[in-house]
Structure 1
Amino acid sequence: MSVIRSAGLRGFRAEVESLGGDAEDLAARAGLPVAALDADDVLVPDTAMAGVLELAAAELGRPDLGLRVAARQDLSLLGPLALAIENSPTVADALECTSRYLFVHAPAMRISAEPDPDGVPGVEALRYDVAPPGVAPPRQGTDLSLGSLHRSIRALVGGTYGLRSVDLPYSPLAPVAVYEEFFGVRVRFGRPAARLRLPSSLGSLPLTGRDETVRRLALDFLSRQRPADDQPDDDTDDRPFTHQVRGAVRQLLDSSAPDVVSVARLFGLHPRTLQRRLAAEGSTFAEVLDEARRAAAHRLLVGTDLPLAQVARSVGFAEQAVLTRACRRWFDQTPTRVRAGGQGA
């Protein structure tokens, strides 16, 4: 199981309440923290997010709920990734950036370009995947994500972009006319994957109003969120569960001192189960937490002028002395020497 930023539910509360539903009750019953309804950076299990959409759609009698929530969203829900996308030179650059860094928002989501499944010259497909191979994709969640992607492309180019048709890998949840009104084109169901079919020439379209400085800053931030900080040219991790836990710990470290209980809760696991799964991949929670603290401490020492006491608190240490001992172990230097010399992590 993976986690996702709660920004993916932006607009859910407003839509549910406009339909007479109780968003907080639905969230609680789906195992979703109520705080996730009103904040962008709560990490929640993707199964809980998919579950609350399905539960709400069924109880409110709105099989088009995913599309209705998508209509309330915009690109800004992706945070720093949105800045990098909006300030890309071309549509192709924006889509490549989305594909490369979408894991910051949701590690299990994938957006990729591929040849047109119909083999039409001058057409290619933008494919959306979220579920592991062989597992049925969450239907409301897929409607929401593909609908939000469609609206984001429209916003980038300032209107229609030549969308040819939309493919969805299940039967229609709402009347077909509802889908076709939303996307503005023919929607085909029961297809092998979720796709937007669009002109190959779209990629070369330049984006206006871009700021290269903003893009560079956003990309710098995103590059430091990579799954393997010590392997900058490799997005893969042959220990998938350890990779997911590492990402959760790194994000939680920004706002709290993560412990095995709180992280296990994110994954819907008992702490002992989380430890067993890490052990099966040759890791432990203590090692993952130590790696995250090491990377965060180095980043703050070398890249900021924060007082050492604040750096210590930011990586979950109660005292500066604990940071000093950790830096001697990690870098064989004191925090002050690491800051002065930019010692590599």
Structure 2
Amino acid sequence: MSVIRSAGLRGFRAVVEELGGDADDLARRARLDPAALDADDLLVPDLAMAGVLELAAHELDRPDLGLRVAARQDLSLLGPLALAIENSPTVAEAMECTSRYLFVHAPAMRISLEPDPDGVRGVEALRYDVTPPGVDPPRQGTDLSLGSLHRSIRSLAGGGYGLRTVDLPGRPVAPRAAYEDFFGVRVRFGRPAALLRLPSSLGALPLTGRDESVRRMALDFLDRQAPVDGDRVAPRVRGAVDQLLGTASPEVGAVARLLDLHPRTLQRRLAAEDTTFAAILDDARRAAARRYLLTTDLPLAQVAGLLGLSEQAVLTRACRRWWGRTPRDVRRHGLDPGV
């Protein structure tokens, strides 16, 4: 069972009460401790958090509930991670810090920069996964998480940041206008993933008012934290691999640098957890290949490149090993649920 810090529900009680609902009753019915609605640092099941959002949206007939809660959140809900982010030298380093330490807030959540799905030069996609690979994301939870991320970037950038469009999976649960009023740009639904399309130049934007000593203290604190499985390095390696796929070579040295570990130390710690870097990389590539083959029309050679594979033939061999099928067969006929 995955968990998340209760700070992710900040603003929920106020929104529900404004709408005439009983937040405590909704929490109990969703099997969530009502105390989580008034505290930031309780670890609660992410399914319960997703459940209370869906229940409230249904009971109160407010399909935009996730966006309403997001409008009441800011970067500070991330606690010490927010201090590290706000005191980073640039937006790019703030995003890297978020990707690296987001597991402290919610182990199942991941953000990563990917090539623009539309192939527009000078545009990148900031992807936000709120559930592990293969698990359908909750609708209200996705709206809340991506909305909160959008507000955090606006805060870092000091206002508008050149957002191009917003992609969301599935059909809209609220009127399109509610989404576009919130994000201020066109929102596209039925997309493969939740992401913000933003200018590549944003990463170079320097952050003002930063304090390097505060940043170092926050990073030191984060490095010593132990959420669920927090002492294990494998989840952090997986997050770093997901971040690098499609943007850089996912080699053990690159991942070790992201985690501030020597490559040999990283490999020893993985061995102590009964896994290897190669196994984690292979699993990440399999999940990404499944997503690209089943949800996009990208050329197979491009899919191979996004997976960090040298050529299309290597992708074909990998797919045969994973699923006993060629990439074209997977794209044409799909895969059994749970594969």
Fold shared per TM-score above 0.5: yes
Structure 1 residue 234: Cα displacement: 7.9
Describe the SS at the equivalent of 2:236. coil
Aligned counterparts of 2:235 and 2:65: Cα–Cα separation in 1: 37
Structure 1 residue 236: Cα displacement: 3.6
Deviation digits for residues 138-182 of structure 1 (CA, Å, limit 9, x no counterpart): 000000000000000000111000000000001001110110010
Query: What letter is aligned with 2:75?
Result: L
> Quick check: which has more Rg, 1 or 2?
1
* Pair 1:234–1:24, CA change in 2 (3 A): closer
Name the structure 1 match of 2:199. Answer: 199
Name the structure 1 match of 2:178. Answer: 178
Matched, 1:9 2:18: no
TM-score, normalization: structure 1? 0.67
Runs of 4+ with deviation above 3 angstroms: 226-231
* Pair 1:90–1:4, CA change in 2 (3 A): same
Aligned counterparts of 1:181 and 1:137: Cα–Cα separation in 2: 23
Name the structure 1 match of 2:103. Answer: 103
Alignment of 1:76-87 (within 5 A): 76-87=76-87
Aligned counterparts of 1:150 and 1:201: Cα–Cα separation in 2: 17
Structure 1 residue 130: Cα displacement: 1.9
Matched, 1:92 2:92: yes
Aligned counterparts of 1:131 and 1:230: Cα–Cα separation in 2: 19
Name the structure 1 match of 2:53. Answer: 53
Name the structure 2 match of 1:235. Answer: 236
Matched, 1:35 2:21: no
Name the structure 2 match of 1:261. Answer: none
CA RMSD of superposed structures (Å): 1.7
Identical amino acids, percent of aligned pairs:
82
Aligned counterparts of 1:228 and 1:135: Cα–Cα separation in 2: 22
CA contact (8 A) 2:104 2:230 kept: no
Query: What letter is aligned with 2:184?
Result: G
Describe the SS at the equivalent of 2:222. helix
TM-score, normalization: structure 2? 0.68
Aligned counterparts of 2:62 and 2:230: Cα–Cα separation in 1: 41
Query: What letter is aligned with 1:102?
Result: L
Aligned counterparts of 1:229 and 1:139: Cα–Cα separation in 2: 31
Query: What letter is aligned with 2:26?
Result: L
Query: What letter is aligned with 1:37?
Result: L
Aligned counterparts of 2:184 and 2:177: Cα–Cα separation in 1: 10
Name the structure 2 match of 1:318. Answer: none
* Pair 1:55–1:211, CA change in 2 (3 A): same
CA contact (8 A) 2:26 2:55 kept: yes
Aligned counterparts of 1:150 and 1:75: Cα–Cα separation in 2: 10
Name the structure 2 match of 1:134. Answer: 134
Aligned counterparts of 1:73 and 1:128: Cα–Cα separation in 2: 17
Alignment of 1:283-322 (within 5 A): none
Structure 2: runs of 5+ lacking an equivalent:
239-272, 275-339
Deviation digits for residues 82-138 of structure 1 (CA, Å, limit 9, x no counterpart): 000000000000000000000000000001111001100000000011223332210
Name the structure 1 match of 2:208. Answer: 208
* Pair 1:230–1:27, CA change in 2 (3 A): closer
Aligned counterparts of 2:186 and 2:223: Cα–Cα separation in 1: 38
Structure 1 residue 225: Cα displacement: 2.1
Deviation digits for residues 45-77 of structure 1 (CA, Å, limit 9, x no counterpart): 000000000000000000000000000001000
Structure 1 residue 185: Cα displacement: 0.3
Name the structure 1 match of 2:118. Answer: 118
Structure 1: runs of 5+ lacking an equivalent:
238-280, 283-345
* Pair 1:169–1:17, CA change in 2 (3 A): same
Name the structure 1 match of 2:68. Answer: 68
